[in-house]
Amino acid sequence: MPNTYFEFRQFRIEQDRCAMKVGTDGVLLGAWFEMESGDSVLDIGTGTGLIALMAAQRGAGRVTAVEIDHDAALQAQENVSNSPFNDRITVTETDANALPQDISFTRIVCNPPFFQNSLKCPDGSRNTARHDDFLSYSQLVSIADRHLSKNGELSVVLPHDMSEIFKKTAISGGLCQKRECNIVTVTGKTPKRTLMTFSRNYCEPLVTTLVMCNPSGEKTADFTELIKDFYVKY
């Protein structure tokens, strides 16, 4: 029987009640987005609480983790309560669209639902986590517009083939792209995921590529360097 938890260096993620389990997408985003010690972070759709916990481990001063699914919110709270960072993370069961207007954050992060107009599965919680019915790209951009501080940043991870759609939505919503990292699983393959950061301030975007494994299956030095503070085996 597989474990119902995922062990990281400084915290454990229980995930038996979450539709979406710990995955590489969340770990990549949690390790990649730029952050300074003391930052205020909003994690939208926190799920297990993974990215919120990673942000706290990296030195965030205040993390607000919101989750619309009841069971996932309870599990995220459990994971936070059992971590060394419980005094800096607040888990709230709510729709991110309903956050009070007067709250602002220096960083907003989201591993958003990425299926649009596609066939649903019978699991309602999994649909909420994977489909954009409850959080469209335009809604996410609007949330960022309302809650980002003057120099704040929004960071997301998406399937590579959805990245241009999100980019156009963000730009139409008044945001400017700052960074982009295309994730290649194996040397020579096409990108599978794209990490992106947006802010209110115009700049020339920095575009990079991260290869996770070489053809023999070994993790690359760049990938290992990015996630070494989190994965136990690196």
pLDDT tens digits, 28-65:
999 999 999 999 999 999 999 999 999 999 999 999 99
β-pairing, 176-186 with 193-199?
Answer: antiparallel
Distance CA 85, CA 107 (A): 18
Give the percent of the chain with pLDDT over 70: 90
Instruction: Give the per-residue pLDDT at 127.
Output: 42
- Confidence check: pLDDT of 117 > 70: no
- Confidence check: pLDDT of 121 > 80: no
In Å, what is the CA distance from 71 to each residue of 91, 98, 135, 138, 159?
12, 19, 18, 26, 26
Q: Is 226 helix (H, G, I), strand (E, B) or coil?
A: helix
In Å, what is the CA distance from 154 to each residue of 62, 83, 84, 145, 161?
16, 25, 26, 9, 19
65 contacts 91 by C-beta, under 8 angstroms: yes
Instruction: Give the per-residue pLDDT at 20.
Output: 86
Dihedral angle of Cα 178, 51, 182, 225, to the nearest 10 degrees? 100
Residue 81 banded pLDDT, cuts 50, 70, 90 = very high
- Confidence check: pLDDT of 169 > 60: yes
Q: Identify which of 180, 200, 176, 202 has the alpha carbon closest to the alpha carbon of residue 191.
A: 180
Residue 3 banded pLDDT, cuts 50, 70, 90 = confident
Q: Identify which of 22, 34, 24, 23 has the alpha carbon closest to the alpha carbon of residue 183.
A: 24
32 contacts 181 by C-beta, under 8 angstroms: yes
Instruction: Give the per-residue pLDDT at 128.
Output: 41
Residue 195 banded pLDDT, cuts 50, 70, 90 = very high
Residue 133 banded pLDDT, cuts 50, 70, 90 = low
In this prediction, residues 64-91 reach a mean pLDDT of: 97
In this prediction, residues 84-100 reach a mean pLDDT of: 97
Q: Where are the alpha helices (DSSP H) in 82-220?
A: 124-130, 137-147, 163-172
Q: Locate 151 and state its tokens.
A: 């120099």
Residue 234 banded pLDDT, cuts 50, 70, 90 = confident
As a whole number, the mean pLDDT across the chain is 91
Q: Locate 149 and state its tokens.
A: 């501080």
Identity of the amino acid at 191 = P
Distance CA 114, CA 33 (A): 19
Residue 2 banded pLDDT, cuts 50, 70, 90 = low
Instruction: Give the per-residue pLDDT at 113.
Output: 80
Residue with the larger pLDDT of the pair 19 and 83: 83
Q: Identify which of 162, 94, 166 has the alpha carbon closest to the alpha carbon of residue 137.
A: 166
Instruction: Give the per-residue pLDDT at 134.
Output: 65
Give me the count of residues in the chain: 234
Distance CA 180, CA 137 (A): 17
Residue with the larger pLDDT of the pair 177 and 133: 177
Instruction: Give the per-residue pLDDT at 130.
Output: 44
Give the percent of the chain with pLDDT over 90: 86
Q: What pTM was computed for the model?
A: 0.91
Beta-ladder partners of 40: 62
